[in-house]
Amino acid sequence: MADERLRLGVNIDHVATLRNARGGALPDPVRAALMAQEAGADGITAHLREDRRHIRDDDIWALMEATSVPLNFEMAATDEMQRIALRHKPHAVCIVPEKREERTTEGGLDVAKDERQLADFITPLRDAGCRVSLFVAADRAQIDSAARIGAAVVELHTGAYCDFVAEGETAKASAELGRLREMSAHAHSLGLEVHAGHGLSYDTVQSVAAFPELRELNIGHFLIGEAVFCGLTEAIAEMRRLMDEARA
Ligand code: PXP
């Protein structure tokens, strides 16, 4: 299993964050997506937030028009986002929790609590041919619920692990990594495809990439930040190299 090539989805949201800081058209997220594709990204990820703080509606069309790799459309479970997803029919839809006041996606979905609503919500997306993923913490109850409602994928939230590493909380980081590893195996045993993402950097990617069941990582903020110093192509190439090394 570990020899299957781990896919890298590059999240280009924060190119749009920079663009929106000045309100113009530059830097262009589509240009970043094309560059990422050229550099070996297996997919492009973009999160259309309710407040449109980075990606805007027209970016989704433009990304789908311009790129040839699959688009992973991140969205909250709202009627508005469902309508947009059904209009575009991207390759993949990743449902994430969203709070207006948060700086980034802080936790995973509470699939266990909202099981019936989420089941109804994802059915039309699945019927439209979108691969539906649920963004969850490394929590057995959430993963069991995701499997019960027929999600194809769970994306495990690596944010807590990455925060512990950044804060030098070694014991907590190791405990969280253990939970992620265990839940990756558990999700796979239930027939779910396993992805992971949030907060990953060169320092944290390898320990997660080594989970044998993992099929895809979605990485954004670190790569766009690193691109300021070495360019997007080089940042993606180095991430790819680290991922491949971890799988070897
Ligand atoms: N995966 C999901 C579901 C996300 O919501 C995000 C952030 O938008 C990412 C991955 C990428 O996180 P980061 O930008 O911290 O790499």
Q: What is the pLDDT of residues 108-151, one digit of tens each?
A: 999 999 999 999 999 999 999 999 999 999 999 999 999 999 99
Cα 13 to ligand 1 centre (Å): 9
Q: Candidates 49, 53, 74: which one to mutate for ligand 1, based on the most atoms within 8 Å of Cβ?
A: 74
Cα 124 to ligand 1 centre (Å): 24
Sign of CA dihedral 99, 156, 43, 84: negative
- Give the pLDDT of residue 206: 98
- Give the pLDDT of residue 100: 66
Cα 6 to ligand 1 centre (Å): 17
pLDDT above 60 (res 164): yes
Pocket of ligand 1 contains residue 198 by CB under 6 Å: yes
What gap in Å lies between CA 214 and CA 4, rounded to an integer? Answer: 9
Mean pLDDT for the chain overall: 96
- Give the pLDDT of residue 102: 74
Cα 170 to ligand 1 centre (Å): 23
pLDDT above 70 (res 98): yes
Amino acid 111 reads: V
What gap in Å lies between CA 57 and CA 213, rounded to an integer? Answer: 34
Q: Candidates 81, 162, 221: which one to mutate for ligand 1, based on the most atoms within 8 Å of Cβ?
A: 221
Q: Residue range 38-67: average pLDDT? A: 97
Q: Which two tokens stand for residue 89?
A: 């029919």
DSSP codes, 164-225: HHHTT-HHHHHHHHHHHHHHHHHHHHTT-EEEEESS--TTTHHHHHT-TTEEEEEE-HHHHH
Pocket of ligand 1 contains residue 41 by CB under 6 Å: no
Using pLDDT thresholds of 50, 70 and 90, give the confidence band for residue 103.
Answer: confident
Nearest partner of 138 among 63, 214, 85, judged by Cα: 214
Indicate the SS3 state at residue 108: coil
What gap in Å lies between CA 138 and CA 142, rounded to an integer? Answer: 8
C-alpha gyration radius of the chain: 17
Clarify whether 47 is annotated catalytic: yes
- Give the pLDDT of residue 125: 98
Using pLDDT thresholds of 50, 70 and 90, give the confidence band for residue 26.
Answer: very high
Element (H, E) at 156: strand 153-157
- Give the pLDDT of residue 106: 76
Q: Which pLDDT tens digit goes with each residue over 174-227?
A: 999 999 999 999 999 999 999 999 999 999 999 999 999 999 999 999 999 999
Q: pTM above the 0.85 mark?
A: yes
Is residue 61 within 8 Å of residue 90, measured between CB atoms?
Answer: no
pLDDT above 80 (res 235): yes
Q: Candidates 12, 105, 223, 226: which one to mutate for ligand 1, based on the most atoms within 8 Å of Cβ?
A: 105
